[in-house]
Amino acid sequence: MSANNCRAVKVISNKPLGLSSPGEEIVELKLEYPDWKPGWRAGQFVMIRPVSWPLDLVWGRPFSICNADETSLTILFQVVGRGTARLLELKEGDEVNIWGPLGNFFSKPQNRPVLMLAGGMGLAPFCGYVDTHPQPENLKLFFAHRPPLENYPYKGMAAKVDVEDIRETKPSDIPTIIARVEELVKEYAEKDGLIVACGPHPFLKTIWNAANKYGADAELSLENRMACGVGACLGCVCKDGDDHHTQVCTTGPVFKANNLSLED
């Protein structure tokens, strides 16, 4: 996918979810569907830059595809800086430039248990994963988060698949999350399941360590910062299993755990 696949689409809706705190809102942005052919896959991402942005906001922003249908594309984002704060200002009918779908995607094996591990905003790609998986009865979601569940599109997923969550409200919750993640990775390794994961670096490193320890089949989606999304700027490199640098936007964002190095 090249940057030439850039299209201008209009905003359908843009609303904070739940009881998000001002300045830290978790937002559901719905855009017109860009009429992608042949389509999109869960785990891929898009680059978004509103037409109205001034030149001091040069680069677009990368976001996982949360979900999409024939009429709309849904993006989930949290206000964490200047760019996302400006995204929150978008109104119905505003135009944004969007290029994608970019990157690779999660596997969807049939007749095999799948464990989805999501940390915070890493929940986003699993909304579409659940809706497009041919056997959702084989899926389980474990979700670690800080804001209340009401701030995420969690309820709809809970109606379709087995779910479990732990909310981090104090430092002592972190060892509990780590221990539970390791238990689940061990369980799915022993029953030849697939593990798919997305979230912040410390969360993914916990999964990476456990997957290596137990020989689990795991796919990790990295959340590295990006500027172009198409391999031109070299701003999103990570290290592969041979300790070589590779670009997340073009060779990822989804990597097999045994083909990745998350050592600090």
Binding-site residues for FAD sit at 61-64, 76-78, 83-84
| Amino acid present at 123 | L
Instruction: Write out the two tokens for 226.
Output: 């990006």
DSSP conformational letter for 55: T
The answer to whether 125 and 43 have CB atoms below 8 angstroms apart is yes
- Cis omega (within 30 of 0) on the bond before 16? no
Instruction: Write out the two tokens for 245.
Output: 């640098």
- Classified as helix, coil or strand, 38 is coil
Q: Which residues are annotated as a binding site?
A: 61-64, 76-78, 83-84, 228, 233, 236, 249
DSSP conformational letter for 137: G
Alpha helices in the chain (DSSP H): 82-88, 124-132, 154-158, 173-190, 201-214, 248-251
- Burial class, 234, CB count within 10 angstroms (exposed 0-12 / middle 13-18 / buried 19+): exposed
Q: Which residues are annotated as a binding site for [2Fe-2S] cluster?
A: 228, 233, 236, 249
